[in-house]
Amino acid sequence: MAEKHETATAETELDTARHFLRQWIEEDLAQGKNDGTVVTRFPPEPNGWIHIGHAKAVWVDFGMAQLFGGRCHLRMDDTNPSKESEDFVEQLKRDITWLGYQWDSFYYACDMFETMWAIAEELIQRGQAYVCELSQEEWKAYRGVPTEPGKFSPYRDRSPEENLALFRKMREGAFAEGTHCLRAKIDMASPNIHFRDPVIYRIVDLPHYRTGTQWHCYPMYDFAHPIEDALEGVTHSMCTLEFEVHRPLYDWVIDRLAEQGRLVVRSGKTIRPQQREFARLNLTYTVMSKRLLRQLVEEGVVDGWDDPRMPTVAGMRRRGYTAAAIRDLCERTGISKYKSLTDLALLEWCVRDDLNRIATRRMAVLNPVKVIIDNLPEGEELVAEVPNNPEDESAGKRRIVATRELWIDRDDFMEVPVKKFFRVTVGNEVRLRGLCLFTCTSIVKDAAGEVVEIHGTYDPESRGGNPADGRKVKGTIHWVSVKYGKPFEVRLYDRLFAMEDPMACPSGNFLDALNPESMRTVQAYGEPLLEQAAPGEHYQFERTGYFTPDVHASKPGAPVFNRTVTLKDSFKK
Ligand code: ATP
Ligand code: MG
């Protein structure tokens, strides 16, 4: 991926992005709508852990508020009791904070249940809603298709008194699920199917994580969401494209709230929320729906919601992705009205770009084979000082110490070298990173024919690896002292799915698209300083990739490393 090109494209996209939602808000402000302030909200349902798609919405909602010096609310859209919990609420808060955002106010939609109920009762009293007893199948059949008008429900003309009595019974739990619902009385002939007397309350006989068994029926999203926005005084309500066709219904509910005198008034101005839609973020090689992520967790395919292979914000954090890299991806993909699929490689590029700036450099050998420097006597040491991060002078330097026996990576040796192999092979001179030049002279194999020792000599005049005679040495090898190196467990993560779109798996089951090599564990040796590595820190194992101590498996003095991403895109399709 050419860096220059990538940046140029991203900037162009960003410009368009700025135009689309930004223009909308700028025009509103210019027209003097509302009270001149911008209030947005991020409204997740606390029924799972947020993923990178939600991070995009967080970036849009909080970002737009920031841009206009406005406020952004964090709201739990908890109007469906089935899978919600307080644990999810707490996790949501942690993840959003980690992403770098702070909400100005926090709300639970369920705290508005009483008001929503009162609004619904007032609709009934005004003849704008009725209790319907059609079954779901009947209701669908009556609703019809967009090209022909639907049919009136036989319950459409009940009196407000009768409706009110039935509606209250629904609340008390007098009826079974699916037998009764409250429908808004709008237009059965509308070409917009969502206008054909939509259901606004349904019976759900499940306890709610906060309101317990107090309620037996709950408001539908299309009714609840505009009310939540209105009661909070939200001015600009941004959501994903699939809600575009619901927008007229959103506006209908806002009109009813205006009629009922329930819109918030600030500085003498009535606040009328409006909705606009943008395309969701979709990524290759993953799935992004809480339902499917839940399935991965519940079936034990992954090690929890924060498994480092999960597209959840917590999984990415545990893997070693940074919040800055995630925000960078949001920025580079921009805000658009068109559905698109973003290559996971772009996210990985953003991660490498950030980690290259901030990661501490260390040497570690993941697939060790022993090197013996025959002309370095036992007990003698070669010492050098090297930068902790060549991109950041303030990160300082560290001492590295070599002894007679070293570990190097088996992949850096070839008995019969292929063309352009400049690394260790008998007779070839290489650079031991930061230290000196070394020439392999012979190898020792075990009975199975596997190389177990690589012998050679170092050039004492080549300290630092840059000889005075200026001779060219192409290969540079990282190494770890056998005497001082420490053993660590390293988890090598790769993409969770082997298919770009797991949902397109020919068997019809996305689990069949799993990458069987999405995690491998190896025993590695690393510089002794790595012993002090703690979760939350980022390392570049030189020439190998970026790594971070795992937050669950690491112990003080004994980190277990997760591979965040390789240095280069090496994924085999
Ligand atoms: P899921 O299907 O993953 O459960 P959801 O949309 O049902 O997603 P919510 O918790 O209701 O999850 O979503 C909160 C907000 O995040 C919504 O405004 C929604 O539009 C937005 N969102 C969800 N997925 C994406 C995505 N892939 N890209 C951008 N925004 C998203
Ligand atoms: Mg949802």
Nearest ligand to the C-alpha atom of residue 228: 1
Nearest atom, ligand 1, residue 47 CA: 10
Rounded to the nearest whole angstrom, what is the distance from the C-alpha of residue 204 to the centroid of ligand 2?
17
Rounded to the nearest whole angstrom, what is the distance from the C-alpha of residue 169 to the centroid of ligand 1?
33
Is the CB–ligand 1 distance for residue 225 below 6 Å? no
Residue nearest to atom 22 of ligand 1 (CA): 54
Task: Assess whether 280 carries a catalytic annotation.
Answer: yes
pTM, 2 dp? 0.93
Whether residue 416 contacts residue 428, with contact meaning beta carbons closer than 8 Å, is answered with no
From 22, 280, 294, 543, active-site residue:
280
Is the CB–ligand 1 distance for residue 53 below 6 Å? yes
Protein residues within 5 Å, CB atom, of ion ligand 2: 45
Is the CB–ligand 1 distance for residue 329 below 6 Å? no
Give me the mean pLDDT over the 232-255 stretch: 97
pLDDT of residue 464: 82
Task: Assess whether 196 carries a catalytic annotation.
Answer: no
pLDDT digits (tens, 9 = 90+) for 423-462: 999 999 999 999 999 999 999 999 999 999 999 999 999 9
From 210, 272, 290, 404, active-site residue:
290
Q: How confident is the model at residue 571 (pLDDT cuts 50, 70, 90)?
A: low
Task: Assess whether 41 carries a catalytic annotation.
Answer: no
The mean-pLDDT minimum among 192-206, 326-340, 505-519 falls in: 326-340
DSSP symbols for 231-256: HHT-SEEEEEGGGGGGHHHHHHHHHH
Measured CA to CA, the distance from residue 494 to residue 161 in angstroms comes to 62
Q: How far is CA 375 from the centre of its chain?
A: 52
Torsion angle of alpha carbons 549, 553, 559, 562, nearest 10°?
-40
Nearest ligand to the C-alpha atom of residue 333: 1
Which residues contact residue 459 at a Cβ distance below 8 angstroms, ignoring those fewer than 6 apart?
Answer: 429, 436, 437, 438, 439, 467
Rounded to the nearest whole angstrom, what is the distance from the C-alpha of residue 59 to the centroid of ligand 1?
12
pLDDT of residue 469: 87
Between vectors from CA 381 to CA 380 and to CA 387, what angle results, nearest 5°?
Answer: 175
Is the CB–ligand 1 distance for residue 283 below 6 Å? no
pLDDT of residue 573: 45
Rounded to the nearest whole angstrom, what is the distance from the C-alpha of residue 53 to the centroid of ligand 1?
7
pLDDT of residue 463: 78
Ligand 1 mutation target, pool 40, 50, 54, most atoms within 8 A of CB:
54
Q: How far is CA 91 from the centre of its chain?
A: 13
For 19, the token pair is: 């135009």
Between vectors from CA 158 to CA 155 and to CA 161, what angle results, nearest 5°?
Answer: 140
Nearest atom, ligand 1, residue 288 CA: 3
pLDDT digits (tens, 9 = 90+) for 450-501: 999 999 999 999 978 888 888 889 999 999 999 999 999 999 999 999 999 9
pLDDT digits (tens, 9 = 90+) for 20-54: 899 999 999 999 999 999 999 999 999 999 999 99
